[in-house]
Structure 1
Amino acid sequence: MRNELSFRLMDTHAGGDVSRIVLGGIDTLPGATVRAQMEYLRDDADGLRRLLLNEPHGIPEMSVDLIVPATDVEAQAGYIIMEVMGYPIYSGSNTICTATALLESGIIPKREGVQHFTLEAPAGLVHIEARVENGVVEAITCGGLPSYIDTYRATVHVPLLGNVTYSVAYSGGFYALVDAIDLGFHLTRDEERDLANCAHKIVEAIQAGQGFSHYTLGDVGPLPFLHFMGPVEQVADDFFRSRSTTYVHPGVICRSTTGTGTSARLALLHHEGRMKAGDRLETVSLRETGFIGTIIGTRQEGSHQVLENTITGKGYVLARSEVVVNCEDPMVECTGLHHILTSGHPPAEE
C-alpha cells in the first residue's frame, strides 16, 4: 500500500448541521478521561480536525465527532467534538448526531420504542433518550448543559451599527443574545451573509470590551457565539416558538438553531419570567428546521440561577463511507495524523 491512512465515517445532520461521525480507524488516545483525550487532540494532534473540515475532504461549516471508548463506567461510549473554532466541550446538535450514529451503526444496539443510555462528552456525562419507530431513530433527547444568564441587557457600541443591546448566557459556551428585529433582520435565508457579518462586528466589540468567566470552569476563552432571536409566539399553554439563528465563526451561520443556542434562549426567557419549568421552546432556523428545548428546573449556584434543560431533535444519516487519506496528495496535510490513525483499511462495518 502507498502512503495511505484510512478510517470509517458516518455523515449525519440534525437541523441541517452536518456532523461527520468517525466510527473507527483511530488509535487509542492518551488520557484518563474523554476531556483529557480531547485536550490531547487539541494540543498535540489537531490534524484530524483540520483534515475533515478543510478541502478536499470537508468544509468549515461541518462538525466532526470522534467516537472513543468511555472512561466512566456509567457511559456506553465517549465522543469528542471538533469544529472550525476548535474543540467545544459540548454541543446539542453534535450530541443528537452522535447518538443517532451510534444506534444506526449498531455500536449501541437499537431497540424499538424508547430507550435510554449515557454518553461521555468532554463536558461530562450526557443522558440520552432515543425514540425508535419501525427501526428508525425518530427523535433524540439529550441533556443540555446547565445554563444561566451572565449579563442582562447591556449595551455596546459597534462600529457601523451604533449601540447594540445584548444579553450573555452560558450554555456550554458564552452566547451573546440579540434581538433580530432591532437589528433589521427577519431571519430569512437570504439574510445569511448579512447576519454573519453583523454578528462578527458585535462579537468583536463585546470581546474588546470585556471577558467572561464561568462560575466553576473559570476562564473559558473569549465569547465566541451570537444568537439572533426572533419574536416569541405562544403556541399552547406550555409551548412556545421562535425563529432563531446562531453565529459560530467568521462567515459561519449554523444551519440549525443549535442545541446550546436553544439552551441559552431558554435561560433568557426564564430569567425574564416568560417561561417556567415544564415549558418548551421550539427554535426555528433559516432553513425551517427546529430543535425543542424543555426547561426541567432550576437551582441556585452562588449568585447564578442555573437552568436544567433538555434538547430534542432528529438526526438523519447522509452517508456511510471509508475516507482514504493519501499523504502524497498535495491537497492533504498529514502532519499530526500518523500517530493517531491506524494504517490500512478499518474492519468492515457489521
Structure 2
Amino acid sequence: MDLAQKFENGSAGEAIKCIDMHTTGEPTRIIYSGFPRLQGTLLEQRDQAMNQYDHIRKRIMLEPRGHYDMYGAILTPETELVQQGQAHIGTLFTHNGGFSTMCGHATIALGRFLVDTHDLTVFPKRNELEFNPTTCELAVNIHAPCGLVRVTVPTTANGQESDPSRPVSFLSTPAFAAGIDLEIPIPKEVRWPELGDRESIKLDISYGGAYYALVDVHELGFSSLKQFDLGAISNAASKLKAYLMTHPAVSSALQHPEDSRLSFLYSVMVVDRDVGSRPERVEGTETGLCFFADDEIDRSPTGSCVTARMALAHAKKQRSVGQKWAYNSIVSNRFGTGAFVASIVDDNVSVGGSKEAVTVRVEGKAYYTGTSNFILEEGDLTSTSGFTLKECAQ
C-alpha cells in the first residue's frame, strides 16, 4: 500500500490539509484544503458551515485529531469583501464549540502563513500583497466574520518570506465598551465557594470583534492570577458565563449596532492588573485568563479581548491614543515571552452611527509547529465527527 497516496486522498473524500501554528502556546490549525466549498457572504458561509458541515469542524478540532482546547481557521478565498477589492482572503474561526467571529491570536498566525505560501490555489491573491521595501513588511487584509482586519507582516529583505524575529500586528475592527461597571447579583445556586457571602459582583462588557465579560480576579474571590487554583477559577468562570448569558442587563449590552449575528457573549475574561511580564517600551502590563466557547481556555493573551480591553480602558479614561500596554496570559508569564502589545491608533471611529469606538493595534508572534493531512477511513465511526472525553462520560 502506498501510504503517501492514502493520506493524499481519504477513503471518505478529499484529505483535509492543515498547517499547525501557535501564538503564545495557543494553537491555530489553518485548514487550507479539503473543507467543503462555501457559498455567499462570509456570514452566510459561517451559517452554512455551522448548519451543514459542523461534523467536519468537529472532526478537525476534537479528538482523536485534535483536543478539547484546539483552535482553527478555515480559509475562504471568496467573500464579498474580496470581490469588492477590500480584502485579500476570508477566514472562519473555529473551536471546540463552533465558530467565533474574531480571533487575534489566529490572525497573527494567519498573517505569517499567508505571506509564506506562494500556492495560488491556496491564496489566489498572494501576488497582490503590497510590499514596503523600507520597512520590509507586507500588508494582508483578512475578512473575518466581524469585518475587515488589516494585518502587517514583517518579512525578509525580498518580501518572499515572513520574519519570525519581529511581531505581526493587526488593526482591529471598531471596538467599544458596551456596559461599564455593571452590578450583577449572583443567586445562591450560581455562587462558587470563593465568592463567600457576597451577593453580587461588578463587571464590564466590551466588544473587540466579539463580546467579552471582563471581571477582576478579586471580584470572583481570588487573590491573584499567579500561583492560583486553575480548577477553582475555571469552575467560577463556567458558572458565571452560563448565568450571564441569561441576565437582562448583560443581554442588553450584547446588542451589536450593525448585525444581530454578532450579538452573543463569547467569553468571560478574568483580569489581574497587578501581575504580568513586562516587555520593553510599554507603559504598563496586566494578565488575563480567557474562558470561551465550551469552557475552553486560551493559552494566549487573546487578541480580540486585548482589543476589547483597550476600548474599555479608553472609555474609562485609563488609556490614551498611542499609549502602549502589555497583555499577558499565564503562559506568557510562565515563559517570560509572548505578551501581546497593544495601542489605540484612532479614537474617532464610527460604529452603528456612534463615534464612541476605537481602532486598536495588537502585535504578537506566531510560530509553525507542523503540517497534517487528515483522512477518514471507511468504517471509522469513532473519529467521523470527533469526540470529547467529557461527552463520552455523559
Q: TM exceeds 0.5?
A: yes
Q: Which amino acid aligns with 1:99?
A: G
Q: 2:25 matched to 1:16?
A: yes
Matched, 1:54 2:62: yes
| 1:101 paired residue number | 113
Per-residue deviation, 1:284: 0.8
SS of the residue corresponding to residue 314 of structure 2 reads helix
Provide the C-alpha distance between the structure 1 equivalents of 2:229 and 2:108, rounded to a whole number of angstroms.
27
* 82 and 271 in structure 1: CA distance in 2 versus 1, 3 angstrom threshold: same
Measure how far apart 1:232 and its partner are: 5.8
Q: Is the 8 A contact 2:95 2:293 kept in 1?
A: no
* One-letter amino acid of the structure 2 residue matched with residue 186 of structure 1: S
Residue 258 of structure 2 corresponds to: 216
Which residue of structure 2 aligns with residue 227 of structure 1? 269
Q: 2:35 aligns with which of 15, 26, 42?
A: 26
Give the secondary-structure state (helix, strand or coil) at the position aligned to 2:45: helix
C-alpha distance in 2 between matches for 1:189 and 1:45? 41
1:116 Cα deviation after fit = 1.1
User: How far apart, CA to CA, are the structure 1 residues paired with 2:168 and 2:78?
Assistant: 20
Residue in 1 that maps onto 2:49: 41
The SS at the match of 1:181 is coil
User: What letter corresponds to residue 213 of structure 1 in structure 2?
Assistant: Q
- For the residues of structure 2 that align with 1:92 and 1:51, how far apart are their CA atoms? 23
Mark the CA change 1:128 to 1:185 in structure 2 (over 3 Å): closer, same or farther: same
* Secondary structure of 1:169 counterpart: strand
Aligned: 1:292 with 2:341: yes
Distance 1:189 1:92, change over 3 A: farther
User: 1:145-184, aligned counterparts within 5 Å?
Assistant: 145-158=173-186, 159-160=191-192, 161=195, 162=198, 163-182=200-219, 183-184=221-222
Aligned to 1:259: 303
Query: Is the 2:139–2:151 contact (alpha carbons within 8 Å) kept by the matching residues of 1?
Result: yes
What SS is found at the alignment partner of 2:330?
coil
Q: 1:220 to 1:124 in 2, by over 3 A?
A: closer
> How many Å separate the matches in 1 of 2:34 and 2:11?
16
| Secondary structure in structure 1 of the residue aligned to 2:237 | helix
Distance 2:362 2:78 in 1: 22
Distance (Å, rounded) in 1 between the aligned partners of 2:61 and 2:261: 27
With 248-257 and 293-302 compared, the bigger mean Cα shift is at 293-302
CA deviations on 1:195-231 (whole Å, 9 max, x unpaired) are 2211112222322222121122236454231111112
- In structure 2, distance between residues paired with 1:270 and 1:168: 13
Q: In the TM superposition, what is the alpha-carbon distance from 1:169 to its structure 2 partner?
A: 0.6
Residue type at the aligned position of 1:78: G
Aligned match of 1:87: 99
1:95 shift after superposition: 1.0
Cα separation, partners in 2 of 1:65 and 1:261, compared to 1, 3 Å:
same
* Structure 2 match to 1:328: 379
Secondary structure of 1:66's counterpart equals strand
3-state DSSP of counterpart to 1:239: coil
What secondary structure is seen at the aligned counterpart in 2 of 1:287? helix
Distance in 1 of aligned mates of 2:286 and 2:167: 20
- Whether the aligned pair in 2 keeps the contact of 1:156 and 1:205 (CA below 8 Å) is no
Q: TM-score, normalised by structure 1?
A: 0.86
| Alignment partner of 2:239 out of 197, 201, 213 | 201
Distance 1:334 1:165 in 2: 40
Separation (CA, whole Å) in 2 of partners of 1:244 and 1:106: 36
* 1:236 CA drift (Å): 8.3
> Contact (CA 8 Å) 1:66, 1:81: kept in 2 or not?
yes
Residue type matched to 1:126 in 2?
Answer: V
In structure 2, the residue matched to 1:241 is 285
**What TM-score, normalized by structure 2, do the two folds share?**
0.77
2: CA distance between counterparts of 1:238 and 1:8?
A: 39
Indicate conservation of the 8 Å contact 1:277/1:296, yes or no: yes
Cα-to-partner distance string for 1:26-76 (whole Å, 9 max, x where unaligned): 343222x23322221112221221111211111121111111213322322
For 2:176 and 2:103, how far apart are their aligned partners in 1? 16
How far does residue 127 in structure 1 lie from its aligned partner after superposition? 1.2
Measured in 2, the distance between the counterparts of 1:191 and 1:226 equals 17
Residues in 1 aligned to 2:144 and 2:89: alpha-carbon distance in whole angstroms: 9
Instruction: Give the root-mean-square deviation of aligned CA atoms.
Output: 2.6
Report the Cα distance in structure 1 between the residues aligned to 2:378 and 2:267, rounded to whole angstroms: 34
Per the alignment, do residues 272 and 124 of structure 1 end up closer, same or farther by CA in structure 2, a change over 3 Å counting?
closer
Secondary structure of the 1:255 match is coil
Paired amino acid for 1:206: L
Structure 1 residues 74-118: Cα deviation after superposition (integer angstroms, max 9, x where no partner): 322221111123211211111111222222333436978211121
**Counterpart-to-counterpart distance in 2, 1:177 and 1:237:** 26
Residue type of the alignment partner of 2:343:
T
| Cα drift, residue 189 of structure 1 | 6.3
Residue identity over aligned pairs, in percent, reads 20
What is the distance in 2 between the residues matched to 1:237 and 1:130?
A: 20
Structure with greater helix percent: 2
Aligned to 1:121: 144
Partner of 2:372: helix, strand, or coil? strand
2:367 — aligned with what?
316
Find the residue that maps to 2:149 and give its secondary structure.
strand
Alpha carbons 1:11, 1:317 under 8 Å: kept: yes
Superposed structure 1 runs of 4+ greater than 4 Å apart: 109-112, 232-238, 300-304
Counterpart amino acid of 1:165?
K
Structure 1 regions of 5+ residues with no counterpart? 336-350
